[in-house]
């Protein structure tokens, strides 16, 4: 496994390259598993560049290839105009590096929207359930500033330091009814009795996701996205007993796909819904 000292050295070497991708004011931060302290041998290195204008994809790729003979596999993606989100990915000394370029004005708007309880989701291919706007606040809270000459990240960190009450209420209001839709639905029951594994599995995943969104909101903890979600669950102070084990058994029953297995799965799903509904009911307090 790459040690923190090695990662620190690689980051320091790559900063001059990443800095050149920006036009005008910028900020650079370390994100992902290395910022959260959860990195393992499978973790890549996530660097974030925030700016309102960046170089086009072809130019970034050429600069990356020319930067060092130790760079391999460089490519840039999603050169969208007007600039919103794009990236440049490569390997450096055998380590996978992903440079995420984010429009700073869009981050500003996203933080303001979340503080007012406005929820948005982008159905992008690089995350299994879509990218929620409030995930940007989760990312920002754990990021480690590397260069912030204009105080951009410092300002954002102050803004995301407290969990917005309106965001909490909006997430519960959207995701709890969505979770309630399926457990006693006729079509889900029919799928169980038919042993329609593909349909039933999609329903279970959808309900579990909605319940986890509710649970993070109840804990006033930003939903961190899909990756390594089990580790994030372990740190939530308020949750049903044996939650991680129960969620993992729901998503991976480790048993033949029989009618009995699907019935047991459905019962566990109803029980988890009831537990989280009780937590929501117990958390209601005057606004």
How many residues are present in the chain? Answer: 287
Of 160, 184, 209, the last residue of a domain is 160
pLDDT band at 287 (very low <50, low <70, confident <90, very high): very low
- pLDDT number for residue 93: 92
How far is residue 124's CA from residue 274's CA, in Å, rounded to a whole number?
A: 31
Of 142, 160, 178, the last residue of a domain is 160
Domain that holds residue 148: 4-160
User: Is the same domain home to 118 and 10?
Assistant: yes
User: Is the same domain home to 17 and 128?
Assistant: yes
Number of domains in the chain: 2
pLDDT at 81 over 80: no
User: Is the same domain home to 34 and 133?
Assistant: yes
Q: Return the SS3 of 199.
A: helix
- pLDDT number for residue 285: 56
Tokens of 225: 């996205």
pLDDT digits (tens, 9 = 90+) for 149-182: 999 999 999 999 999 999 999 999 999 999 999 9
Kind and range of the H or E run holding 46: strand 45-51
User: Is the same domain home to 152 and 180?
Assistant: no
User: Is the same domain home to 28 and 128?
Assistant: yes
Q: What is the DSSP string of 126-178?
A: TSTT-EETTHHHHHHHH-EEEE-TTSHHHHHHHHHSS--HHHHHHHHHHHHHH
> According to the 3-state scheme, what is the secondary structure of 55-95?
CCHHHHHHHHHHHCCCEEEEEEECCCCCCCEEEEEEEECCE
């Amino acid at each position: 496994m790459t040690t923190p000292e090695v990662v620190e050295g690689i980051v320091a070497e790559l900063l001059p390259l990443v800095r050149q991708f920006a036009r005008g004011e910028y900020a650079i931060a370390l994100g992902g598993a290395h910022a959260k302290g959860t990195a393992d041998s499978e973790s890549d290195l996530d660097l974030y560049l925030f700016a309102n204008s960046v170089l086009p994809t072809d130019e970034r790729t050429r600069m990356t290839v020319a930067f060092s003979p130790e760079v391999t596999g460089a490519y840039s993606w999603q050169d969208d105009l007007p600039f919103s989100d794009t990236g440049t990915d490569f390997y450096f000394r055998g380590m996978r590096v992903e440079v995420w370029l984010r429009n700073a004005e869009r981050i500003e708007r996203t933080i303001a929207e979340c503080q007012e309880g406005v929820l948005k989701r982008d159905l992008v291919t690089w995350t299994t359930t879509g990218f929620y706007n409030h995930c940007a606040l989760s990312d920002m809270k754990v990021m480690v500033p590397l260069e912030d000459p204009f105080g951009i990240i410092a300002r954002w960190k102050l803004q995301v330091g407290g969990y917005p009450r309106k965001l909490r209420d909006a997430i519960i209001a959207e995701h709890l009814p969505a979770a309630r839709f399926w457990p006693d639905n006729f079509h889900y029951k029919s799928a169980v009795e038919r042993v329609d594994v593909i349909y039933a599995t999609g329903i279970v995943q959808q309900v579990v996701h909605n319940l986890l969104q509710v649970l993070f909101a109840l804990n006033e903890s930003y939903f961190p996205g899909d990756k390594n979600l089990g580790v994030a669950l372990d740190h939530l102070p308020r949750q049903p007993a044996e939650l991680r084990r129960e969620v993992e058994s729901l998503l991976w029953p480790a048993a033949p796909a029989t009618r009995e297995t699907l019935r047991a799965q459905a019962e566990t799903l109803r029980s988890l819904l009831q537990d989280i509904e009780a937590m929501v009911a117990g958390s209601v307090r005057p606004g």
